[in-house]
Amino acid sequence: MKTLAALSLAAVATVAASHAWALPSRSGAVAGHQGLTLFAPEVAQNAAGARVEGAVCRLGPVPSVKLGELSVEHVGPDGQTLAVEPARVAPVLRDRGARCAYYHVQTAWVVQPSESVQVCMSSPAGGAPACVRRPN
């Protein structure tokens, strides 16, 4: 019986830990579009360039949404866009109950301390994109 109880506690801990990453931290910048929230990306420099990762999540009661295009932008110190890479996201947010979709983009960019990276989400209905910048 003790083994079964220990196993059940281990299973609960595993499930809880696996759901802890499902929603990104709400600290930092966010932007939204039609039931979706775009979180500020994480940026890491590596030998190949900058690796940009992030999430777009459905945080409200909308049962399913259509995700617009995502792009990752390298922004200069003057606010001008230096380069753009598309971010591909699996269409999981169309599924009922799905909370977040994640993207990972490896770029050749070297992001200087005076520069930043932002991710933008276009609206399927048109209009201005929602963008969120990674704070320097």
CATH number at residue 57: 2.60.40
Residue 62 lies in a domain: yes
**Which residues are CB-neighbours of 33 under 8 A, at least 6 positions away?**
68, 121, 123, 129, 130
Evaluate whether residue 8 is within a structural domain. no
Q: Region 70-95: what's the mean pLDDT?
A: 88
In this prediction, residues 126-136 reach a mean pLDDT of 81
Q: What is the pLDDT of residues 105-114, one digit of tens each?
A: 999 999 999 9
Position 58 in a domain: yes
Q: What is the pLDDT of residue 35?
A: 73
Answer whether residue 18 is part of any domain.
Answer: no
Paired tokens of 60: 């409200």
Residue 60 covered by a domain: yes
pLDDT at 18 over 50: no
User: Domains in the chain: how many in total?
Assistant: 1
Residue 36 lies in a domain: yes
For the full predicted model, state whether its pTM sits above 0.75.
no
Residue 111 falls inside a structural domain: yes
Name the residue range of residue 30's domain. Answer: 24-133
* 12 falls within a domain: no
